[in-house]
């Protein structure tokens, strides 16, 4: 059958479901350059308002996967399982989780990205380690998974390449927040990656992309269904992102904190979430090992060191914060009722740790150390945040962004915990 872009757009605009043929044709024609950017923009807007039925979304995702290559993880000596986070402030979990789960007997192909805006990127954090490289070939990924058990690297340009074009278009057309489009974007790459199982960490709260538990639940359920329909065992955890995860927010700062956790220390919330996600990952691939044991006995740290070395990095390199330093102190006494993850994330970005555009450079040593958590008691003049920047201009921007990031009141706030809900098929 022959189709036209206008017919596809108007079908979805008017609330009807697109046929498999329409979806396949429009995405393939767009990839060939036969559907104009403004036409695809109109279709994305129609999807934003009209949504997609399950069948439409499966077909859309299938076409995104088929737009490029897939990574074959068959033949490895241990089962593969991955984790994806929807992004938060201070979210350094992957740096600990990948070697931990590998130490327990699985292999973890953690294909990651770079940060944009107030949320940090795993690759940016690891690139603060001298010599470490993010770009690996498919053969290098397989070899490292077999020898080390874990790899954290950039997703190859060949995996779901149409997603890059669609994401860029969504970014400039106000259609980023569509749950079907978010789901297909994330899951097409994870399915193309070839992993046997997947755990999704869906952040919800002030510092997350998704602000409400209802939207987070909808997104998680949609992605779980997509994974299961493509033969990938998938579970999602909804986790709180009202305050930053851990204390360090910034690239090298977060690597240092991750190593602290791998060596038996670090903030309790980072450790607790890492172990919860590790148990989910191991359960999906049938490995009956307590990850807390492997974290405490140094096994996970050993795998981390091997993983960094395998990608050219120096695990013994001393990672120092940026040279310009400042402290923000409490202007009243009381209990810390809010540590606003969004405010802290924006501050780290403006200090130099993040980027506004994908091509922008980032500072390895810039960022924020949160010296207090919600519920802490503070006195007037007590330090709340430490700021690090490469120059005074960035420091001033970061300091301004932190204005009001900590709220102090008379009453102890109610703690809701970091683990909110578990979503399965």
Distance CA 23, CA 153 (A): 31
Residue-level pLDDT at 10: 98
Task: Give the residue numbers annotated as catalytic, written as ranges.
Answer: 84, 163, 170, 185, 189
In this predicted structure, what is the pLDDT of residue 157? 80
| Together in a domain, 17 and 144 | no
DSSP 343-394: HHHHHHIIIIIS-SSTT----SS-EEEE---TT-EE-TT-EEEEEEESSHHH
Overall average pLDDT of the 275-279 stretch: 98
Residue 115 scores a pLDDT above 90? no
273 and 133, same structural domain? yes
At residue 416, the pLDDT reads 86
Domain encompassing residue 295: 81-310
Q: Looking at residue 343, which CATH number applies to its domain?
A: 3.90.1170.30
Last residue of one domain, picked from the residues 254, 282, 310: 310
Considering the domain boundaries, does residue 423 fall inside one? no
Q: What is the mean pLDDT of residues 188-209?
A: 95
Which has more pLDDT, 381 or 121? 381
Exposed, middle or buried by CB within 10 Å (0-12, 13-18, 19+), for 361? exposed
Both 269 and 150 in one domain: the answer is yes
Q: What is the pLDDT of residues 284-318, one digit of tens each?
A: 999 999 999 999 999 999 999 999 999 999 999 99
Assign residue 10 the CATH number of its domain. 1.20.970.10
Are residues 170 and 29 located together in one domain of the fold? Answer: no
**Cα angle 394-399-403, degrees, rounded to a multiple of 5:** 150
Averaged pLDDT, 210-233: 97
User: Do both 280 and 386 map to the same domain?
Assistant: no
Identify which of 406, 401, 387, 416 has the alpha carbon closest to the alpha carbon of residue 334: 406
Tell which residue, 196, 146, 166, has the closest CA to residue 68. 166
Residue 71 covered by a domain: no
pLDDT digits over 36-54, tens only?
999 999 999 999 999 999 9
Answer whether residue 361 shows pLDDT above 90: no
Q: Which phi-psi region, left, alpha or beta, contains residue 197 (left: φ > 0; alpha: ψ -120 to 50)?
A: beta
- Arithmetic mean of pLDDT over the chain: 95
For tokens 């172990």, what's the residue? 275
- Whether 305 and 329 map to the same domain: the answer is no
Residues 297 and 344 in one domain: no
> Two tokens at 237?
């955890």
Rounded Cα distance, 234 and 91, in Å: 21
- The rounded percent of the chain whose pLDDT value lies above 70 is 99
Name the band, by pLDDT with cuts 50, 70 and 90, for residue 357: confident
Q: Which residues contact 142 (CB under 8 A, 6 or more apart)?
A: 73, 76
CA nearest neighbour of 308 among 146, 127, 76: 127
Starting from the edge strand earliest in sequence, which strands make up the sheet with 383-389, in order? 248-249, 367-370, 383-389, 324-329
Q: Within a domain: residue 316?
A: no
The reply to whether 417 falls in a domain is: no
Residue 140, classified by CB atoms within 10 Å of its CB into exposed (0-12), middle (13-18) or buried (19+), is middle
Query: Same domain for 100 and 237?
Result: yes
DSSP-derived secondary structure for 288-337 = ---HHHHHHTSHHHHHHHHHHHHTT--TT---PPPSEEEEEE-SS-EEEE
In degrees rounded to 5, what are phi and psi of residue 111? -85, 120
Average pLDDT over residues 345-363: 88
Q: What are phi and psi of 318, to 5 degrees?
A: -85, 120
Distances (CA, A) of 6 to 17, 29, 30, 39, 290: 15, 13, 13, 8, 55
249 & 278 share domain:
yes
Does the residue 275 lie in any domain? Answer: yes
pLDDT at 415: 87
Look at residue 425 and tell me if it is in a domain: no
Q: Is residue 9 part of a domain?
A: yes
Q: State the pLDDT at residue 295.
A: 98
CATH number of the domain enclosing 297: 3.40.1030.10
Tokens, residue 299: 């096994």
What residues does 69 pair with on adjacent strands?
159
Q: Are 47 and 196 contained in the same domain?
A: no
- Cβ atoms of 105 and 289 within 8 Å: the answer is yes
Q: Say what the pLDDT of residue 378 is.
A: 98
In a domain, 72, yes or no: no
Q: Which of 310, 337, 372 is the C-terminal boundary of a domain?
A: 310
Q: Tell me the mean pLDDT in the region 188-193.
A: 94
What is residue 1's predicted lDDT score, i.e. its pLDDT? 65
What pLDDT band is residue 251 in, cutting at 50, 70 and 90?
very high
Residue 356, Cβ density class (10 Å: 0-12 exposed, 13-18 middle, ≥19 buried): exposed
How many domains, the chain?
3
CA distance 404 to 343: 8
- 3-class state of residue 119 by DSSP: strand
- pLDDT computed for residue 156 by the predictor: 81
Same domain, yes or no, for 295 and 389?
A: no
High-pLDDT (> 90) share of the chain, %: 90
Q: Rg of the chain's alpha carbons, rounded to an integer?
A: 22
pLDDT tens per residue, range 140-171 = 999 999 999 999 999 888 889 999 899 889 98
Q: Evaluate whether 149 touches 107 at the Cβ level (below 8 Å).
A: yes
Same domain flag for 297 and 349: no
CA distances from 294 to 117, 222, 260 (A): 34, 33, 15
Residues 56-65 have a mean pLDDT of 97
Helices (H), 51-198: 54-66, 93-103, 122-126, 138-147, 161-173, 179-192
Query: Of 277, 310, 343, which one is at a domain's C-terminal end?
Result: 310
- Overall average pLDDT of the 56-85 stretch: 95
């Amino acid at each position: 059958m022959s189709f036209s872009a206008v017919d596809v757009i108007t079908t979805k605009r008017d609330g009807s479901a697109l046929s498999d043929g329409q979806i396949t044709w429009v995405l393939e024609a767009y990839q060939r350059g036969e559907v104009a950017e403004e036409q695809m923009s109109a279709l994305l807007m129609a999807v934003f308002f009209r949504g997609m039925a399950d069948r439409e979304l499966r077909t859309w995702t299938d076409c995104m996967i088929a737009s490029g290559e897939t990574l074959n993880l068959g033949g490895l000596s241990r089962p593969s399982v991955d984790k994806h986070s929807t992004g938060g402030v201070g979210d350094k979990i992957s740096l600990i989780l990948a070697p931990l789960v590998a130490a327990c007997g699985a292999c973890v192909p953690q294909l990651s990205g770079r940060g944009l805006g107030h949320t940090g990127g795993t690759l940016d954090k690891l690139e603060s380690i001298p010599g470490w490289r993010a770009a690996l070939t498919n053969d290098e990924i397989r070899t490292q998974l077999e020898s080390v058990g874990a790899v954290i690297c950039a997703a190859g340009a060949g995996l779901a390449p149409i997603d890059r074009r669609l994401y860029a278009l969504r970014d400039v057309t106000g259609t980023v927040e569509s749950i079907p489009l978010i789901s297909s974007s994330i899951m097409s790459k994870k399915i193309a990656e070839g992993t046997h199982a997947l755990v999704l960490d869906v952040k919800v709260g002030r510092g997350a992309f998704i602000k409400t538990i209802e939207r987070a639940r909808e997104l998680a359920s949609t992605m779980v269904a997509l994974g299961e329909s493509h033969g990938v065992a998938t579970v999602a955890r909804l986790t709180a992102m009202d305050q930053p995860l851990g204390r360090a927010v910034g690239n090298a700062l977060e690597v240092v904190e991750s190593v602290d956790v791998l060596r038996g220390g670090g903030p309790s919330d980072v450790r607790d979430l890492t172990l919860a996600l590790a148990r989910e990952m191991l359960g999906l691939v049938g490995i009956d090992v307590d990850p807390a044991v492997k974290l405490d006995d140094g096994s996970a740290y050993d795998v981390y060191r091997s993983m960094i070395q395998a990608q050219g990095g120096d695990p013994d390199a001393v990672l120092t914060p940026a040279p310009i330093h400042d402290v923000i102190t409490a202007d009243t006494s009381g209990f810390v009722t809010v540590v606003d993850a969004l405010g802290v994330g924006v501050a780290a970005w403006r200090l130099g740790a993040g980027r506004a555009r994908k091509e922008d450079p980032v500072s390895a040593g810039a960022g924020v150390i949160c010296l207090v958590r919600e519920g802490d008691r503070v006195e007037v003049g007590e330090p709340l945040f430490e700021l690090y920047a490469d120059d005074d201009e960035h420091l001033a921007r970061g300091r301004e962004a932190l204005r009001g990031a900590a709220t102090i009141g008379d009453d102890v706030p109610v703690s809701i915990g970091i683990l909110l809900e578990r979503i399965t098929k």
